[in-house]
Structure 1
Amino acid sequence: MRANKVPVPSPSFWIVKVLTTGFGEALSDFLVKRFDPVPTVLVTAVVFAVVLGVQIRARRYAPWRYWAAVVLVAVFGTMVADAAHVAVGVPYWVSTLVFAVALVAVFVGWRRTAGSLDVHGIDTLRREVWYWCAVVVTFALGTAVGDLAASVAGAGFLVGGLLFLAGIAVVVALRGLRVLGPVAAFWSAYVLTRPLGASFADWVAVDPARGGLGAGTGLVSAVLGLAIVGFVAVLPDEHRRRYAEEPEPAGP
């Protein structure tokens, strides 16, 4: 049995989560437009695999290690979802449907083989592998949903971001009314934070001709990256307080 290696979903958790989604969107766009997309995606995939492998092999939660893995998921997940549309020509609604089905498959497999989907119980290797599979698919699904809303539905980046913010507010309200359970509410919000952060990042970054402020993906990436570093450095240690009674895990 391992110690739980997923942080408590506190307000600070959700703030950093949204920052990583915007950062992943902006940095992905910045990299693939300034470098050859194929080697860029391959290098990102290798870095992602290494960082995620370090996170999974670790015996305890560490904020920097965990959020580094989430950041790489955000960047690589965005590249995969964008490549499906730009390089392969898959329509946004098709990729949205495919990733939605994939997420359901992950949840079903996780539930049948490793028990509860509650993130307070990621305390075995099997559960942690399923958890990260779910995280990767939620980022890809959120990217496809955000692109679908902004491009096909014609909502635009700002309006799309506000719509996803409203969607999260609905999830919170349903949780408060106990219509949604804690696990369903968590994963619903987790999916919606991806297009929320990406929509606002795109709105700030893209040219005014596309409905944005024109700050550029490089500047947005830098600002959001610094914000993530700052927040992770000063995060209150809810995780340590929440799991303070857990025994030290055995050696490897």
Structure 2
Amino acid sequence: MSDLTATRADRRVSTGLNKVPDPTAIFWIIKILATTVGETFADFLATNLNLGLTNTTIVMGALLAIVLVFQFRAIRYVPGIYWLAVVLISIVGTLITDNLTDNFGIPLGTTTIVFAIALAVVFAAWYASERTLSIHSITTRRREGFYWLAILFTFALGTAAGDLIAEGLNLGYFVSVLLFAAAIALVGLAYRFANLNAILAFWVAYILTRPLGASLGDFLSQPVADGGLGLGTVGTSAIFLSAILALIISLTVRQRKELASWQADLA
């Protein structure tokens, strides 16, 4: 095997062992779609099916726990399992914030501060343990545990902060979409042209996709009289889940081709 082939194979081995995907364009697209589903599908279950916030949280929490068992048992990144976990954790993160606000009367300002502190604590413990917050080296169960805990708090924080800004400023759904999209764009520009730390840029953008997706979901699903497009939670959830499924199938096919190529290099 030539040195070039060995290098290429080593790189593919490293990529294959990482349990989470690289933040490519398709990653961010699915993330926003999943975040939107987290908003609309949670509303659908709690309201349209009359499960209520508490029962919906219990059901979705149980499903998330089951999927995370498969995620942790997987030996590499598996698109179907990983993104199902993201969709479910998006729903659960939304429900946690909604429960605290609607069932317990805790102000959004308080939950925003609490979840921001909780996320900071997770990051601090993660860094103290692993000396890195990089998502490119999620190769152990401990790192993966920190990763998913951080993801949960980013969704909860994004929900609380997004709702706080939207309600406090009374922006409306469409303007909120533009505001959070612009904020993400600024993070990208700061990373590209102002040498913003890559890890910091990733996590800030990850948090901001939550209120972006929620605003987008509300804009599409809410009645026209309320400033939305009137697609409803069922229609919006169906459209976005179909898009996520199509992208996951595409990623799975691509991954299988890459693994086949890697195996050919080793032969």
TM superposition score normalised by structure 1 = 0.91
1:223–1:181 distance in 2 versus 1, CA, 3 Å = same
1:35 match: 50
Instruction: Write the distance in 1 (CA, Å) between the matches of 2:89 and 2:198.
Output: 24
Identity %: 42
1:95 to 93, 97, 111: 111
Q: Which structure would you say has the larger RCO, counting Cα contacts within 8 Å and 6 or more residues apart?
A: 1
1:231 to 234, 247, 261: 247
Shift in Å at residue 245 of structure 1? 7.5
Instruction: Write the distance in 1 (CA, Å) between the matches of 2:257 and 2:160.
Output: 35
Q: Residue by residue, what CA displacement relative to the aligned partner does 1:60-114 show, whole Å, maximum 9, x if unpaired?
A: 1110011011011011111111111111111111111111111111100100012
Q: Residue by residue, what CA displacement relative to the aligned partner does 1:180-218 show, whole Å, maximum 9, x if unpaired?
A: 111011101100111111101101111233321221111
* Paired letter, 1:212: G
- Structure 1 residue runs without a partner (length 5+): 247-252
The number of equivalent residue pairs is: 245
* Paired letter, 1:17: K
Instruction: Write the distance in 2 (CA, Å) between the matches of 1:195 and 1:125.
Output: 29
2:6 match: none
Asked whether 1:25 is paired with 2:39, we answer yes
1:212 match: 228
Q: Secondary structure at 1:89's aligned position in 2?
A: coil
1:52 match: 68
TM superposition score normalised by structure 2 = 0.86
Contact 1:149/1:156 (CA < 8 Å) preserved in 2?
no
Instruction: Write the distance in 1 (CA, Å) between the matches of 2:168 and 2:180.
Output: 16
Instruction: Write the distance in 2 (CA, Å) between the matches of 1:67 and 1:136.
Output: 14
Q: Which has the larger radius of gyration?
A: 2
* Paired letter, 1:208: V
Q: Residue by residue, what CA displacement relative to the aligned partner does 1:160-184 show, whole Å, maximum 9, x if unpaired?
A: 1111100001101110124311101
1:239–1:120 distance in 2 versus 1, CA, 3 Å = farther
Shift in Å at residue 158 of structure 1? 1.1
- Structure 2 residue runs without a partner (length 5+): 1-13
Instruction: Write the distance in 1 (CA, Å) between the matches of 2:165 and 2:221.
Output: 17
Q: Secondary structure at 1:167's aligned position in 2?
A: helix
Instruction: Write the distance in 2 (CA, Å) between the matches of 1:148 and 1:156.
Output: 12
Asked whether 1:118 is paired with 2:108, we answer no
RMSD value over aligned CA atoms?
2.1
Shift in Å at residue 239 of structure 1? 10
Larger helix proportion, structure 1 or 2? 2
Q: Residue by residue, what CA displacement relative to the aligned partner does 1:25-51 show, whole Å, maximum 9, x if unpaired?
A: 000011111223222221111111111
Asked whether 1:73 is paired with 2:54, we answer no
Instruction: Write the distance in 2 (CA, Å) between the matches of 1:66 and 1:125.
Output: 14
Shift in Å at residue 231 of structure 1? 1.1
Instruction: Write the distance in 2 (CA, Å) between the matches of 1:141 and 1:23.
Output: 17
Instruction: Write the distance in 1 (CA, Å) between the matches of 2:84 and 2:256.
Output: 17
Q: Residue by residue, what CA displacement relative to the aligned partner does 1:106-158 show, whole Å, maximum 9, x if unpaired?
A: 10010001221010010111100000000000011111121112212211211
Instruction: Write the distance in 1 (CA, Å) between the matches of 2:208 and 2:257.
Output: 27
1:187 match: 203
